[in-house]
Amino acid sequence: MSTPVAIRATEIVLPGAVEPSGLEVRTRDLPAPDKGQVLLRMDATGVSFAEQQMRRGKYYDQPAFPFVPGYDVVGTVTATGPGVDAGLTGRRFAAVTKVGAWASHLLIDAAELTPVPDGMDAATAETVVVNGITAWQMLHRMAKVRPGGTVVVLGVNGGVGSILVQLAWHAGITVIGTASARHHASVRELGAIPVDYHDPDMYDQIRKIAPDGVDAVFDHVGGPGLVQSWRLLRRGGTLVSYGTAATKNEEGSSQLPVLKLFAQLAAWNSMPNGRSAHFYNFWAGRRRRAEWQRRLTQDLTEVLRLVADGVLTPQIAAQIPLHDAASALALAESRTVIGKVILVPGA
């Protein structure tokens, strides 16, 4: 066990349902790491769609306000608690936190750490933590698309979408990706066939490219368009829903859109047409904690290896100091950037 040193942490607090400018900065003293814990110095954390929903009070199972958001983190261990190998000190790791990562330092269970390859930039690694795990598991564990198949990725220029298209291309899968026209050149560089999501005939344009249907559709939008996504599938195809962005600005219960979605997916799965519909939940199976963590670590390790090998090129939209998290959140919500907005330590 390394010698505990008192640390004063800077944290970004979400005080309630506020605009990005309503985020607050606070400092507090962290206790020494407890049994099984490490003290992690944040080297990079990110802005994901989850935080955009949380600030509206619309994320399915977010904690009560106020709290520190931050879904994932890459950082360096600076101290270890009882029962933890002191050799971890000074090494860089990635972890999924769900909340709490928008902080200069945080306490985390050592069992939740995944090693980051030596020499890999922290922002590069951070870009593929939750997004990379999500993309990998949806493509390879849920949809199980084979080489030679064709898939549709809605919002292909987003954090998950930009990784999903690269993983699919690497696996020999054709990708049709929706994005605004100004991003089409970048979408082609990623390896996808772009379709303008502002086009009212978007789904007809996709059908022209894949007249026999597609093997999978990855849809984070939900809402009325989900029916159109379902209709794109060929027999044996899979719809993977992983969000309800279409309802993000609606007032009322954060659970109602999700419950409606589950009911729709269940209805489709009851049809004898050979197609299937699933909702991807990052946290599914966590009651069996050890098995869930093993699978997460395995998948993230594979994604990080692909980054290290040059197969995946993480899309970093911007790197912004932690204390300016409000600007980072506003930028991520602007839908004007490709990839992920990253928070880094301040000067």
pLDDT tens-digit series, residues 277-319: 999 999 999 999 999 999 999 999 999 999 999 999 998 999 9
Say yes or no to pLDDT of 198 above 80: yes
For residue 171, the SS3 value is coil
For residue 109, the SS3 value is strand
Q: What is the dihedral of CA 228, 231, 234, 240, to 10 degrees?
A: 50
- Alpha-carbon span 66 to 22, nearest angstrom: 12
Residue 221: partners with Cβ closer than 8 Å, 6 or more residues away: 154, 155, 243, 244, 245, 246
Q: What is the pLDDT of residue 252?
A: 59
**Ranges 35-44, 48-57, 300-309: which has the least confidence:** 48-57
The radius of gyration computed from the CA coordinates of the chain, to the nearest angstrom, equals 20
Say yes or no to pLDDT of 115 above 70: yes
Q: What is the pLDDT of residue 225?
A: 92
Say yes or no to pLDDT of 245 above 80: no
Per-residue b or e along 11-26, where b marks 16 or more CB atoms closer than 10 Å to that residue's CB: bbbbeeeeebeebeee
Say yes or no to pLDDT of 2 above 50: no
Q: What is the pLDDT of residue 219?
A: 96
What confidence tens digit (pLDDT) does each residue in 58-90 have? Answer: 888 899 999 999 999 999 999 999 999 999 999
Instruction: Tell me the backbone φ, ψ of residue 26, rounded to 5 degrees.
Output: -135, 160
Q: Span 141-164, mean pLDDT?
A: 94
Split at pLDDT 50, 70, 90, the class of 248 is: low
What's the pTM? 0.91
